[in-house]
Amino acid sequence: MLDGFKKFILRGNVVDMAVGIVIGAAFGGVVTSLVKSFIEPLIALTVGKPDFTAVSTTITGAHGPVPVPWGAFLTAVINFLLIAAAVYFFVVTPVNALVARMRKDPAPADPTTKKCTECLSEIPIDARRCSHCAQPQMGKAA
């Protein structure tokens, strides 16, 4: 019974997924700290403190007034957008630039044709005579 459980847990994809979740949670803390420490103060300098939790509306119904605290939702949406922007501009964009810089273009394929020395028609690279003008060709690259 425990042997099957041990095989399941020690499978590569389960361990990889667990490591990814732990690293993702730790990275989430870093991104949240980046937003709280740097991005939110910059926004607070320009538009004020981004905290709308106290904003609410009261709806009066048959059973009396009911408060609708939509400011908390607005704060959560703004925090999500700030974190998403921080991840995109400070992580995704630099990593994509780094990967593009490290990526090497594949070597160009060897040519399969060459130009005839006389009529400039495309002929196979190993041709010794042009099929268009019948001129003899010298070497592989003319």
Q: Give the chain's length.
A: 142
In a domain, 27, yes or no: yes
Tell me: do 85 and 16 sit in the same domain. yes
**Does residue 141 surpass a pLDDT of 60?**
no
Pair 40, 73 in one domain: yes
pLDDT tens profile 31-77: 888 878 887 787 777 766 667 778 888 998 888 899 888 888 888 88
Range of the domain at 71: 10-100
Asked whether residue 5 is assigned to any structural domain, the reply reads no
Q: Give domain status of residue 79, yes or no.
A: yes
Average pLDDT on 108-136 reads 87
My answer on whether 37 and 95 are in the same domain is yes
> What is the CATH number for 22?
1.10.1200.120
> Do 15 and 52 share a domain, yes or no?
yes
- Cα-to-chain-centroid distance, residue 31: 16
Q: How far apart are CA 24 and CA 40, in angstroms?
A: 22
pLDDT score of 138 more than 80: no
Which residues lie closer than 8 Å to 91 by C-beta, 6 or more apart? 31
Within 10 Å of residue 135's Cβ, how many Cβ atoms?
Answer: 15
Give residue-wise pLDDT tens across range 75-108: 888 878 877 887 788 888 998 999 888 888 788 8
pLDDT at site 23: 92
Judge if 16 and 65 occupy the same domain: yes
Domains identified in the chain, total number = 2
pLDDT band at 29; cut points 50, 70, 90: confident
